[in-house]
A and B are shown apart, each in its own frame.
Chain A
Amino acid sequence: MKSMIFAAAAAGMAVSFAATPAPADTADKRIALSNNYAGNSWRQAMLRSWETVTSQAVADGVVAAADAFTTAENQVTEQAAQIQNLILQGYDAIVLNAASPEGLNGAVREACGVGITVVSFDGVVSEPCAWRIAVDFVQMGKDEVLYLAERLPEGGNLLEIRGLAGVFVDDAISSGIHEGVAENPQFQIVGSVHGDWAQDVAQKAVAGILPSLPEVHAVVTQGGDGYGAAQAFKAAGRPTPVIIMGNRHDELTWWKEQKDATGYETMSVSIAPGVSTLAFWVAQQILDGAEVPKDLVVPFLRIDQDTLEEGLADTEPGGVANVLYSLDDAQTVIATAQ
């Protein structure tokens, strides 16, 4: 029986799996999700996506277990301890959204040392023995400015809302934005605040800096901060600039209202929180023995003026526009990387 499953799995690898996943070679494998933070809508959606996809996978017998663990506090030391605990709990693979690209390398190396597959995504780790499903955050920041260059050919003043200080995602998106501005000198960044990817923080920060700023033509953001920025501009009685959105439900709803009322135009870009499910399938493929390159790239989820209604319909209230990835998607991503 075991050899039959083995043969089926081997055949499956060669011709890709059928639509209904057969009990794979990974049926007795246990996968854990190590997550460092759950305090915003993106992370909540990420955890829900994981739950939806993996509970189905467990029910189908693809893997034995796929448990999610979140640290109580978003700290490197907490997550390193958590990973070491997961090693002790005997998981076969750890899917990881890391608090720091470097700080967890010691723990990750411990995991690799006992033969555990480590797949990091979104917040990836630099330890060479781990797999990385990275987001090109620099390109994401640059895309925002490129869009603005199209929208406002004569250029103008930009307000930059950054994320959580000291987190590399913040640095990466910001450096992309600055790169874009350097290539499009018609734009100047006249102000920069930290919005911590949260609407209330962004609103306060923008309200605080607005009185000191000249006219702002556009706001470049990192997601989770566009709605707060819009509210701050409204409260200050300033004309609403072009605010780049980050796929959050409140942002898309506000955009839709403005679009219907005044024909307001912008764009929205972020990473689908379902990327956790992509990481799950990649881990499953690695456990199954597939050849997977160490570095994979996730596509952005971008919503434009014409796809707004569609995107909004697919986003649950309080959530983020999302895509749940399937085994086929994972195999496509793996194939394109090879």
Chain B
Amino acid sequence: MSALARLAPPRLLRALLPAVSLAAILAAIFWLQPRTASYFGLNLLLNLSIPIALATIAQMFILCVNDLDLSIGGYVSLTACITATWLNDTPALGVLALLLCVVAYAAMGALIHLRQLPSIVVTLGMSFVWLGLAVLLLPTPGGQAPDWLRALMTLKPPYVPFPIVAAVVFALVVHVGLMRSAYGVVLRGAGGNPRAVERAGWSLLHVKLTLYALAGLFGVLAGMALVGLTTSADANIALRYTLLSIAGVILGGGEFVGGRVSPIGAVMGAMTLTLAGSFLSFLRLNPDWQIGAQGAILILVLALRALINRAERRAP
């Protein structure tokens, strides 16, 4: 292990792990189904990972301050329903409603901070509120994606498929904002050592408001991207995103505590999870085993990370 540590420092290994997992699963898919190794194939393979990646980024903002968001799936469903109804029929009302959603998310963060409530309980409760609102808005599946959104999500840029372009853009924008900017350091520091950040004169309330609002914003983007792909919405459309987004952040190198997150890793984690589903489907694995196999892939990556972490602790 020490020889390995000298060759490649654990910190580097840790940062590379999400990329290596993504490359490994992509290579396996290309080998199983050569048809996927094309512009058309990559587009189909990856387009549904855009909304998941956006939801994962949203979840990452919450995990950044050691909170956990169990409502993101319901929230994305609600924003998807708003996008497919109000944003399409009366754009002004739609924009207003989506803004209100972001404000509500920020308020949820403030409530969690001010009353010192466990985020799991508050967000679990709110998940039913989002879902209820979504069902009220769209009792039966329907609605229609705004034409401009549909056009955007089915864009065919030259050479590089749209999902890859979108993933790179989102990952870089969030990376610069959260990892490279001065306030980004404060945001992450609030998860790592909240007391120190507070003593340094930063308002923790402000930090939580910002992070929850950002999560709300990316949740809105996820809902819009999803509707752009599916063309219409359903109140239950994104319920799976809650757990997928948490798994995506962790797979991408994030930790549950300590403000240790990685936007680029999170996007890659989300894509790896999406591809894992396709990989198992191409393997013709019995569906009864698929959830288990998906879990096995997760455990495999996390086990590798645990090994790297151990090496990191041992390294001088």
Tell me, yes or no, whether A104 is within 8 Å of chain B by CB.
yes
Number of chain B residues whose Cβ lies closer than 8 Å to a Cβ of chain A = 43
Interface string of B191-219 (1 = CB under 8 A from A): 00000000000000000000000000000
Q: Which residue of A lies closest to B34 (CB)?
A: A88
Q: Which residue of B lies closest to A38 (CB)?
A: B287
Contact flag A80-B41 (CB < 8 Å), given A75-B240, A102-B143, A166-B236: no
Tell me, yes or no, whether A264 is within 8 Å of chain B by CB.
no
Count of inter-chain pairs, beta carbons less than 8 A: 105
Tell me, yes or no, whether B71 is within 8 Å of chain A by CB.
no
Chain A residues positioned under 8 Å from B233 (CB to CB): 102-103
Q: What separation, in Å, do the CA atoms of A72 and B285 have in the docked complex?
A: 10
Interface string of B16-35 (1 = CB under 8 A from A): 00000000000000000101
Tell me, yes or no, whether A85 is within 8 Å of chain B by CB.
yes
Determine whether the beta carbon of A77 is less than 8 Å from that of B281. Answer: no
Q: Chain A's nearest CB lies how many Å from the CB of B76?
A: 10
Q: What separation, in Å, do the CA atoms of A87 and B232 have in the docked complex?
A: 20
Q: What separation, in Å, do the CA atoms of A114 and B44 have in the docked complex?
A: 12
Tell me, yes or no, whether A143 is within 8 Å of chain B by CB.
no
Query: Residue B230 contacts which of A73, A104, A165 (CB distance < 8 angstroms)?
Result: A104
Residue with the greatest number of chain B CB neighbours at <10 A, chosen from A84, A102, A107, A109: A102
Chain B residues positioned under 8 Å from A102 (CB to CB): 141-143, 230-234
Number of chain A residues whose Cβ lies closer than 8 Å to a Cβ of chain B = 37
Tell me, yes or no, whether B226 is within 8 Å of chain A by CB.
yes
Within 8 A of A (CB), among B27-72: 33, 35-36, 40-41, 44-45, 47-48, 51-52
Determine whether the beta carbon of B139 is less than 8 Å from that of A109. Answer: no
Contact flag A71-B287 (CB < 8 Å), given A88-B41, A103-B234: yes
Interface string of A51-82 (1 = CB under 8 A from B): 00000000000000001011111011110111
Within 8 A of B (CB), among A97-117: 100-107, 109-110, 114
Tell me, yes or no, whether A89 is within 8 Å of chain B by CB.
yes
Within 8 A of A (CB), among B227-247: 229-241
Contact flag A101-B141 (CB < 8 Å), given A69-B281, A72-B287: yes
Query: Residue B36 contacts which of A70, A76, A88, A109 (CB distance < 8 angstroms)?
Result: A88
Tell me, yes or no, whether A153 is within 8 Å of chain B by CB.
no
Tell me, yes or no, whether A6 is within 8 Å of chain B by CB.
no
Chain A residues positioned under 8 Å from B226 (CB to CB): 77
Chain A residues positioned under 8 Å from B239 (CB to CB): 75
Within 8 A of B (CB), among A284-306: none
Tell me, yes or no, whether A233 is within 8 Å of chain B by CB.
no
Q: Chain B's nearest CB lies how many Å from the CB of A275?
A: 20
Tell me, yes or no, whether A254 is within 8 Å of chain B by CB.
no
Q: Chain B's nearest CB lies how many Å from the CB of A290?
A: 28
Q: Chain B's nearest CB lies how many Å from the CB of A88?
A: 5
Q: What separation, in Å, do the CA atoms of A309 and B44 have in the docked complex?
A: 50
Determine whether the beta carbon of B232 is less than 8 Å from that of A73. Answer: no
Q: Chain B's nearest CB lies how many Å from the CB of A92?
A: 14
Determine whether the beta carbon of B140 is less than 8 Å from that of A171. Answer: yes
Determine whether the beta carbon of A76 is less than 8 Å from that of B287. Answer: no
Q: What separation, in Å, do the CA atoms of A38 and B51 have in the docked complex?
A: 26
Q: Which residue of A lies closest to B144 (CB)?
A: A102
Q: What separation, in Å, do the CA atoms of A77 and B50 have in the docked complex?
A: 12
Chain A residues positioned under 8 Å from B277 (CB to CB): 72, 78, 81-82
Within 8 A of B (CB), among A5-49: 38
Q: What separation, in Å, do the CA atoms of A76 and B141 have in the docked complex?
A: 11
Chain B residues positioned under 8 Å from A107 (CB to CB): 230
Determine whether the beta carbon of B229 is less than 8 Å from that of A80. Answer: yes
Query: Residue A171 contacts which of B139, B234, B280, B290 (CB distance < 8 angstroms)?
Result: B139
Q: Chain B's nearest CB lies how many Å from the CB of A99?
A: 8
Determine whether the beta carbon of A166 is less than 8 Å from that of B135. Answer: yes
Tell me, yes or no, whether A263 is within 8 Å of chain B by CB.
no
Contact flag A81-B35 (CB < 8 Å), given A72-B291, A87-B44, A100-B237: no
Tell me, yes or no, whether B309 is within 8 Å of chain A by CB.
no
Q: What separation, in Å, do the CA atoms of A138 and B48 have in the docked complex?
A: 33
Determine whether the beta carbon of B141 is less than 8 Å from that of A81. Answer: no
Q: Chain B's nearest CB lies how many Å from the CB of A192?
A: 15
Interface string of A115-145 (1 = CB under 8 A from B): 0000000000011000000000000000000
Q: Which residue of A lies closest to B47 (CB)?
A: A84
Q: What separation, in Å, do the CA atoms of A103 and B226 have in the docked complex?
A: 10
Question: Can you list 15 pairs linking A and B with CB atoms under 8 Å apart?
Answer: A67-B284, A72-B277, A75-B239, A75-B240, A76-B230, A77-B226, A82-B277, A84-B44, A85-B45, A87-B44, A88-B33, A88-B35, A102-B230, A166-B135, A168-B140
* Across the A-B interface, the 3 shortest Cβ-Cβ residue pairs: A102-B232, A72-B290, A70-B287
Q: A72-B294, A85-B45 are in contact. List 7 more A-B contacts (CB 8 A).
A: A72-B280, A77-B48, A77-B51, A80-B230, A81-B277, A102-B142, A127-B231
